[in-house]
A and B are shown apart, each in its own frame.
Chain A
């Protein structure tokens, strides 16, 4: 029986992000080609990762891209340090080589929605993710311990209830939440519990809350009220 073909992933940019990503995905048995502009850097990565396929060239150069087997790639991930290069690499992948899915590292967080508007499937800003984490810590509250995972502008917030929370003893259906906010899971003693309307919230429950528009701080405020 033939083994299922390994998904082919093309990574553009062999900096810190690209290198670690390649290493990780190789361990998970993806077929990887890493594209890196700089010869010395490419040699170094080759040395570190052994047999990985590394090509030296510009990830936004059409003629070069055509030699990477890009047309059979399941995903192209552009993770250089320059937003404009990541954008163009992904647009060429999608527009010229019909790559089904493009993921771009976004260095300037304000560019996330620009990338979305310009057709990139998954723009990811490390700075934005980091800011979400730090913001959650900054709020200084015992209540919000979690993180905001932002995708398409929405947040997933992990709210750990303090012992004195007014929500303790309340049924899920009676928790008043703003529009676009929903409790999607209760975590009780480490186990997930379905937030059925009649489920009563207990001390030390954690609520996983999905919010379409609000950020972490606003979710915290809405649950504290």
Chain B
């Protein structure tokens, strides 16, 4: 699969390396060249300097051929705008965006965008740990192994 990621912070770079390790072609976009050092020297995908809310930058990143798109910068609005461009203008089949603000996440999910809210997820995990003493982030090693196996299943033929 062709994967386009906007934002090469901790989430973006981790995702890029995982997807690449699973055999997919990854293009990652960030405004700061220095951010790409997070990818490590063995990263073989494409790194594009620019903003993910600019169509010409997205085109250069090959968004017209992308199967998957994720916007994971640290700006909610930037992520929302980039994801909507990918979905509505470039018709990328799978588009997801990371939102910090749970309320904004809910609104855009209602409006039809695929979202993931790290704030919500972490708050829920910690609350569960407080209540029943189980840390679900690390509770199921078997499930984690299955997840990694599935990651390679969508590999381009």
Chain A residues with CB under 8 Å of chain B are 60-63, 82-85, 87-88, 91-92, 95-96, 108, 110-111, 114, 117-118
Contacts and interface: CB of A to CB of B under 8 A. Distances in A.
A118 B54 contact: no
Contacts of A83: 53, 81
Nearest to A60: B77
Given A83-B81, A88-B81, A61 B101 contact: yes
Contacts, number: 54
B154 interface: no
Of the listed residues A61, A88, A110, the one surrounded by the most CB atoms of chain B closer than 10 A to its CB is: A88
Contacts of B78: 84
B154 to A, nearest CB: 29
B104 A62 contact: yes
Interface stretch (B21-29, B84-92, B124-132): B84-92
26 contacts: A60-B76, A60-B104, A61-B104, A62-B101, A62-B103, A63-B103, A84-B53, A84-B75, A84-B77, A84-B81, A87-B80, A87-B84, A88-B77, A88-B81, A88-B104, A91-B111, A92-B104, A95-B107, A95-B110, A111-B54, A114-B81, A114-B89, A117-B88, A117-B89, A118-B84, A118-B85
A85 B103 contact: no
Given A82-B77, A95-B111, A114 B104 contact: no
B77 A114 contact: no
Contacts of A91: 111
Contacts of A87: 77, 80-81, 84
Nearest to B57: A110
Interface residues of B, number: 20
B55 interface: yes
A42 to B, nearest CB: 20
Interface of B: 53-56, 75-78, 80-81, 84-85, 88-89, 101, 103-104, 107, 110-111
The DSSP consensus for interface residues of chain A is helix
A61 B103 CA distance: 8
Of the listed residues B77, B88, B103, the one surrounded by the most CB atoms of chain A closer than 10 A to its CB is: B77
Contacts of A95: 107, 110-111
A46 B75 CA distance: 29
Given A83-B53, A88-B76, 6 more contacts: A62-B104, A87-B84, A88-B80, A88-B104, A110-B54, A114-B55
B80 A84 contact: yes
A84 B76 CA distance: 9
Contact of B53 (A61, A62, A63, A111): A111
A92 B107 contact: yes
A13 B133 CA distance: 46
A83 B84 CA distance: 13
A95 B88 CA distance: 16
A165 B76 CA distance: 55
B56 A110 contact: yes
Nearest to B102: A62
Contacts of B75: 84
A204 B84 CA distance: 49
A117 B89 CA distance: 7
Nearest to B82: A84
A119 to B, nearest CB: 9
B67 to A, nearest CB: 21
Contacts of B103: 61-63
B89 to A, nearest CB: 6
Given A83-B53, A114-B55, A114-B89, A96 B107 contact: yes
B81 A62 contact: no
